């Protein structure tokens, strides 16, 4: 069976905000060999549907890291232009702290924003703990760049959009075929992620979270 056919069978059509579509995708991965009992770090954007699906398929204790790039777009976008750079700098500085201090600093920033820009304050605090998951796990700083954002996933998706943007009429099954072919073409330009030499440390951390009973660690 060709790589394109295998990839095509893995792809699922559906909205990223559809929890059932997200669950279907993750269950499909489990059915094809992804062990749901093995602890993994999930790096996602702010999709509530995807977060719900991870909880349902991989358990409530599955570590999830929210994409920091999305946070840096969502919060400043709710502020006046003259306040955006300062807010972004404060947020970046908080991410350099340990997770308890960083979350406390987020709450301080939110308190500063709350009076005049309550929407920005709410956006900052949304998913607060999951903005600091890699800090809590004490992941090596060399891996921060690739694990703190969803860029590794977003970039190939952008490549697929670029390669299919001129298609105006999609026939049944065509989206999966073209997407699979585009992903395989993009794969040729993949490079090793930054900090890849320290991935063993991430594995050791996640294995250390692995409960002997198969139940989630509190």
pLDDT digits (tens, 9 = 90+) for 137-164: 999 999 988 999 988 887 777 777 777 7
Residue 9 has pLDDT above 90, yes or no: no
Average pLDDT, the chain: 85
Whole-structure pTM value: 0.80
More confident residue, 76 or 145: 76
| 170-178 long-range Cβ contacts below 8 angstroms, 24+ apart | 175/13, 176/8, 176/11, 176/13, 177/4, 177/8
* Residue scoring higher pLDDT (159 or 120): 120
Paired sense of beta strands 64-66 and 42-44, if any = parallel
> What is residue 217's predicted lDDT score, i.e. its pLDDT?
36
Phi-psi region for residue 139, left (φ > 0), alpha (ψ -120 to 50) or beta?
Answer: beta
| Length of the chain measured in residues | 218
Q: How far apart are CA 96 and CA 141, in angstroms?
A: 9
Residue range 176-190: average pLDDT? 79
Average pLDDT of 89-111? 96
Residue the block writes with tokens 């330009």: 189
Q: What whole-number percentage of the chain has pLDDT above 90?
A: 54
Bigger pLDDT: 171 or 215? 171
| Residue 43 DSSP SS3 | strand
How far apart, in Å, are the Cα atoms of 41 and each of 54, 61, 96, 203? Answer: 11, 10, 19, 9
Question: Which element (helix H / strand E) includes 65?
Answer: strand 64-66
């Amino acid at each position: 069976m060709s790589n394109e056919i295998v990839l095509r069978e893995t792809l699922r059509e559906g909205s990223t905000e559809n929890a059932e579509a997200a669950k279907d995708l993750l269950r499909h991965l489990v059915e094809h060999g992804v062990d749901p009992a093995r602890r993994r770090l999930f790096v996602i954007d702010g999709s509530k549907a995807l977060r719900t699906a991870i909880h349902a398929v991989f358990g409530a204790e599955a570590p999830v890291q929210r994409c920091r790039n999305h946070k840096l777009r969502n919060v400043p976008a709710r502020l006046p232009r003259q306040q955006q750079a300062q807010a972004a700098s404060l947020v970046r500085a908080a991410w350099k702290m340990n997770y308890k201090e960083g979350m406390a600093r987020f709450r301080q920033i939110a308190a500063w924003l709350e009076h005049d820009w309550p929407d920005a304050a709410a956006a900052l605090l949304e998913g607060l703990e999951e903005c600091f998951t890699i800090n809590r796990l004490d992941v090596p700083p060399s891996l921060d760049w690739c694990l703190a954002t969803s860029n590794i996933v977003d970039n190939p998706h952008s490549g697929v959009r670029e390669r299919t943007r001129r298609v105006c009429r999609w026939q049944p099954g065509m989206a999966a075929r073209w997407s699979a072919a585009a992903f395989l073409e993009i794969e040729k330009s993949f490079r090793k992620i930054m900090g890849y030499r320290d991935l063993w440390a991430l594995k050791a951390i996640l294995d250390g979270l692995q409960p002997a009973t198969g139940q989630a660690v509190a």
